[in-house]
Chains A and B, each alone.
Chain A
Amino acid sequence: MVADQQVNTEQKGGVGDQDRQRSGQGRPSSDLVARLRSGDRSAAEELVDLYYQRIYLYMRQLGHNRQTSEDLTQEAFMRAWYHIDQLKDDSALAGWLFRIAHNTSYQYRRWLGRRAGQIEPLELSAQIHSAQGSAEDRVMHMDLLDRLRQAVASLPWKVRQTVVLHYLQGMPISTAAQVIGVREGTFKSRLHRALRLLRRRLDQDGQI
């Protein structure tokens, strides 16, 4: 499966490296978890600097609007300060924080219920990374990505969050499954369903 192949390639590079590449933020100090667990306030500030943009983007990619995403990001960190005891080891730092963020978002969605508004699209950088060829090709590619973005936004919630965590946030399946509290097998089957739905959507548009 594509999802399996994806996770294998990610494990080679290591999630930490990939996270940093994606966020453009620095490397967590080696003793960050230990300092957090000892209640060090400066460690908490370091954690904010490392992750607040990623958590904000995660909220946006899940479909929350800008203001709500900022509020939920704050709320997630607020909760994190009081759940430091659940943080076990260095490798689990991102998973632990994203799990809190996921629960924060989930509870907000439940509270919102049917009042959930239209999804506000996330801004993308103007640079087209992998597009090559003529200007027309690049424009076509950009258009394809935009359609894909819309297709992701239209996915059912449970399926969408697997896509966001694994593909958009670049998280390995094992960690992403822990974040949303499901088994790896369940996560993979949701990913597979997501790809099927996305393919169907893009097929309708004649894009793939």
Chain B
Amino acid sequence: MDEHRRIAELLAELGRMADERPSPGLAERIKRQIPDRLMARPTGRQPISIFIHLRINRLAAAAIIMASLVVFYGLFGGKGQLEGGLAGMVDDLIGWRRPQTEALVGVYQELVNSGKEVVFFQENAGKQDPTLILMYWKLPEGDYRVVFSDGRMSKVDAESLIRIQACMIHRLAR
């Protein structure tokens, strides 16, 4: 046990001797990432969670209405009409509007015409993938506005943008 005690003392000494410092700008880099409101979700996640939440609620409502319609049309012989317009009805009911590639290209053109330097990933248009960036541009205060391929937008700082791009590259490489 004396040997254990000796090792414990040496370990404590080793802990006191740790003298390595991180690079000088680390504290500032961490502070720059402090959000305006600490309780809020990260910039990139909040829209997703709200989006999913709304979508789930709407889907639940839509499912109930759809089930009612199927029963109603089945009883009264209108099944063919129902099948034809089903997709459109679902879209109308849940308010699901996918961003159109043409419209997004138009947005891109407008931004470029207004003098903004926009990075545009045309190959991601229409993919409806929340992890893929469609375009981004720099805002006057130094942050970036990012539009994802599912039409969602986020304001992020430079480091977050790098992280999002790294995730995107990693995903595309798989």
Q: How far is the CA of A56 from the CA of B30 in the complex (A)?
A: 12
Q: Does A114 contact B (CB under 8 A)?
A: no
Q: Does B141 contact A (CB under 8 A)?
A: no
Please determine whether B38 and A168 come into contact, CB atoms closer than 8 angstroms.
no
Q: Does B102 contact A (CB under 8 A)?
A: no
Q: How far is the CA of A45 from the CA of B33 in the complex (A)?
A: 10
Measured between beta carbons, the chain A residues less than 8 angstroms from B14 are 124, 145, 148-149, 152, 167-168
Q: Does B169 contact A (CB under 8 A)?
A: no
Measured between beta carbons, the chain B residues less than 8 angstroms from A56 are 22, 26
Q: Does A84 contact B (CB under 8 A)?
A: yes
Q: How far is the CA of A160 from the CA of B125 in the complex (A)?
A: 48
Please determine whether B12 and A53 come into contact, CB atoms closer than 8 angstroms.
no
Q: Does B18 contact A (CB under 8 A)?
A: yes
Categorize the interface residue count of chain A: 35 or more
Q: Does A116 contact B (CB under 8 A)?
A: no
| With known contacts A2-B4, A41-B34, A148-B14, A57–B20 Cβ distance under 8 A | yes
Closest to A126 in B: B19
Q: How far is the CA of A208 from the CA of B3 in the complex (A)?
A: 7
Q: Does A129 contact B (CB under 8 A)?
A: yes
Q: Does B115 contact A (CB under 8 A)?
A: no
Q: Does B15 contact A (CB under 8 A)?
A: yes
| With known contacts A2-B8, A41-B36, A167-B8, A22–B22 Cβ distance under 8 A | no
Closest to B10 in A: A148
Please determine whether A81 and B38 come into contact, CB atoms closer than 8 angstroms.
yes
Please determine whether A70 and B26 come into contact, CB atoms closer than 8 angstroms.
yes
Closest to B35 in A: A81
Q: How far is the CA of A163 from the CA of B12 in the complex (A)?
A: 10
* Chain A nearest Cβ from B57, distance in angstroms: 23
Q: How far is the CA of A170 from the CA of B5 in the complex (A)?
A: 15
> Can you report 6 residue pairs joining A to B where beta carbons are below 8 Å apart?
A39-B38, A81-B35, A167-B11, A167-B14, A170-B15, A199-B7
